[in-house]
């Protein structure tokens, strides 16, 4: 008999300090219901994130199944979601899932760090709603981003919760395929034990890279992957997202075993203990703005120097920032830096002005003329329109490889020695095509500036080794200097905000589902 498996998800990373995310933010990225969801999942360049397409491919290859597409909603990271929109989406999940019953299992593709204007745990509400509808005996597997803020409610409502293991997130498809494998085991009768440890660590995302040797978080994941124990189903080390500012914040370790609760608990403790010992590494290390500018000036004037990449990490749209702060750009212009390409700057009005002016025409570039968000300060400069594009394409490397994107009306403008890519639809710069679609040669640039926190590393690594990448300390809604934020909901004390935090690890076991 063909297995009926429901597919759904609500995926956004919410920054408490950013402007509210609305229905339009989701519709412009991916709000896909019913057959539209399945059609996109099976397309050669999906709009949605890679997990559901990978899940579908694995199930197609390994099982007799019938997909039951419910609804998938995804938006660029932003501020708290407008609660009325979330409530409507939750109602859609319930209505559509009830209408699709009976189902044999459910796969939930979530980000895991959502908040709304009224609710600190909307992801938990999604999980709880699904469990209430399908009942305690139907297997549910969920995947989440490694920046999820994992609540007890999220853990308690699903059979297995699987997070990404790579930052940058180049393993999203792998985790979707893993979810399919685990779900098949659950359908065959597997019963699991789940251990859950939350650490008093809310590290800035710059300290949650996973390349070997980059810190205790990377060490934790490397150790988990080396376990190679057939009794273990999954180990997820979930770094969290500090800017969500919720009571459920905190680096979380989940160990799922084939029914062995003692092994799950012991493994979780073995993973968190060395990470806590090395917690000093969760404090950020950034390049001061003046040093970054001096480096760019020196690199542009001396061809013997190797090119560098400067990451404007405090203005990362991938963490909810606006992608338009002027501080680094203004400082580079004032210093007379040459050979610089910078992007992507989100400014719909400036992009429209460039399209109206035309290629080769002079333009008084008025940045952020209508923005009211903190840090999105206006400034003006004389520019020339170099190239115009519609902003549509398919990623070729890293997190966006094989996925379609739409930056909206986009323009390349030149201001003195700096070429700037301006876009309409907010997006972090983690894909070389964002520059290359304008004919820019990244390898020929002396300095590349990206508005991104870390995902660019998986795409720009063909140009820049780690030692030539510098995270710059500038103001913004995603500054790694967490003391600049007015946190009101984080569980305190917590590292790195409270350096003298003391902690004794405790393990929480997920309770059994009740009939």
State pLDDT tens for residues 75-115. 999 999 999 999 999 999 999 999 999 999 999 999 999 99
d(CA 212, CA 375): 34
- Match 């405090």 to its residue by tokens: 314
Residue 235: pLDDT band by 50, 70, 90 thresholds?
very high
d(CA 447, CA 428): 18
Q: Tell me what percent of the chain is helix, strand and coil, each rounded to the nearest 5.
A: 35, 25, 40
d(CA 497, CA 493): 8
pLDDT above 90: residue 1? no
Q: What are phi and psi of 331, to 5 degrees?
A: -65, -40
pLDDT above 60: residue 56? yes
pLDDT above 60: residue 515? no
Give pLDDT, residue 156: 97
Among 123, 122, 120, 199, CA closest to 161: 123
* pLDDT cut 90: percent of the chain above it: 98
Residue length of the chain: 515
Give 262's contacts (C-beta < 8 A, 6+ positions apart).
Answer: none
Give pLDDT, residue 54: 98
Residue 417: pLDDT band by 50, 70, 90 thresholds?
confident
Cross-strand partners of 420: 342, 413
Alpha-carbon torsion (434, 435, 441, 447), positive or negative: negative
Give pLDDT, residue 104: 98
Residue 514: pLDDT band by 50, 70, 90 thresholds?
low
- Residue-wise pLDDT for 168-206, tens only, equals 999 999 999 999 999 999 999 999 999 999 999 999 999
Give 362's contacts (C-beta < 8 A, 6+ positions apart).
Answer: 382, 383, 384, 385
Q: Is pTM, for the whole model, over 0.85? A: yes
Among 335, 193, 322, CA closest to 265: 193
Give pLDDT, residue 373: 94
d(CA 180, CA 313): 34
Residue 512: pLDDT band by 50, 70, 90 thresholds?
confident
How far is the first Cα of the chain from the last one, in angstroms, to the nearest whole number? 25
- Residue-wise pLDDT for 323-373, tens only, equals 999 999 999 999 999 999 999 999 999 999 999 999 999 999 999 999 999
d(CA 125, CA 377): 37
- Residue-wise pLDDT for 483-496, tens only, equals 999 999 999 999 99
Q: Is 392 helix (H, G, I), strand (E, B) or coil?
A: strand
Residue 61: CB atoms within 10 A of its CB come to: 9
Q: How do 379-389 and 340-346 pair as beta strands?
A: unpaired
């Amino acid at each position: 008999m063909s297995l009926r498996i429901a597919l759904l998800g609500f995926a956004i990373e919410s920054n408490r300090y950013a402007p509210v995310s609305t229905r339009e933010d989701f519709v412009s990225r991916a709000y896909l219901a019913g057959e539209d969801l399945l059609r996109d999942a099976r397309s050669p360049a999906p709009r949605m994130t890679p997990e559901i397409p990978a899940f579908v491919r694995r199930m197609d290859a390994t099982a007799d199944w019938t997909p039951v597409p419910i609804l998938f909603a995804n938006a660029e990271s932003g501020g708290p979601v407008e609660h009325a929109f979330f409530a409507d989406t939750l109602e859609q999940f319930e209505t559509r899932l009830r209408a699709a019953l009976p189902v044999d299992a459910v796969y939930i593709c979530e980000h895991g760090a959502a908040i709304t204007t009224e609710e600190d745990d909307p992801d938990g509400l999604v999980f709880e709603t699904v469990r209430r509808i399908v009942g305690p005996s139907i297997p549910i597997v969920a995947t989440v981003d490694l920046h999820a803020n994992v609540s007890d409610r999220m853990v308690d409502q699903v059979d297995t919760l699987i997070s990404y293991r790579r930052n940058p997130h180049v393993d999203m498809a792998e985790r979707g395929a893993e979810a399919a494998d685990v779900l098949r085991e659950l359908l065959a009768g597997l019963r699991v034990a789940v251990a859950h440890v939350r650490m008093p660590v809310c590290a800035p995302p710059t300290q949650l890279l996973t390349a070997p040797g980059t810190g205790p978080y990377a060490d934790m994941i490397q150790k988990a992957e080396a376990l190679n124990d057939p009794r273990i189903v999954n180990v997820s080390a979930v770094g969290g997202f500090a800017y969500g500012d919720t009571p459920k914040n905190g680096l979380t370790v989940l160990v799922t075993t084939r029914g062995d609760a003692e092994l799950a608990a012991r493994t979780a403790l073995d993973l968190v203990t060395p990470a806590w010992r090395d917690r000093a590494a969760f404090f950020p290390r950034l390049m001061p703005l003046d040093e970054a500018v001096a480096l760019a000036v020196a690199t542009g004037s001396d061809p013997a120097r190797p090119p560098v990449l400067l990451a404007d990490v405090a203005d990362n749209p991938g963490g909810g920032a606006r992608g338009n702060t002027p501080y680094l750009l203004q400082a580079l212009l004032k210093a007379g830096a040459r050979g610089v390409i910078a992007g992507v700057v989100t400014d719909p009005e400036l992009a429209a002005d460039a399209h109206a002016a035309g290629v080769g025409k002079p333009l008084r570039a008025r940045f952020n003329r209508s923005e009211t968000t903190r840090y999105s300060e206006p400034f003006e400069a004389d520019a020339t329109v170099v190239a115009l594009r519609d902003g549509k394409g398919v990623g070729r490397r890293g997190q966006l490889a094989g996925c379609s994107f739409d930056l909206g009306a986009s323009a390349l403008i030149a201001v003195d020695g700096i070429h700037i890519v301006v876009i309409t639809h907010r997006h972090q710069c983690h894909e070389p095509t964002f520059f290359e679609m304008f004919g820019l040669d990244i390898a020929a640039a002396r300095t590349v500036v990206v508005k991104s926190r870390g995902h660019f590393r998986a795409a720009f690594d063909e140009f820049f080794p780690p030692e030539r990448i510098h995270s710059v300390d500038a103001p913004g809604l995603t500054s790694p200097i967490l003391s600049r934020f007015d946190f009101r909901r984080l569980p305190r004390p917590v590292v790195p905000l409270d350096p003298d935090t003391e902690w004794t690890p405790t393990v929480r076991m997920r309770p059994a589902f009740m009939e």
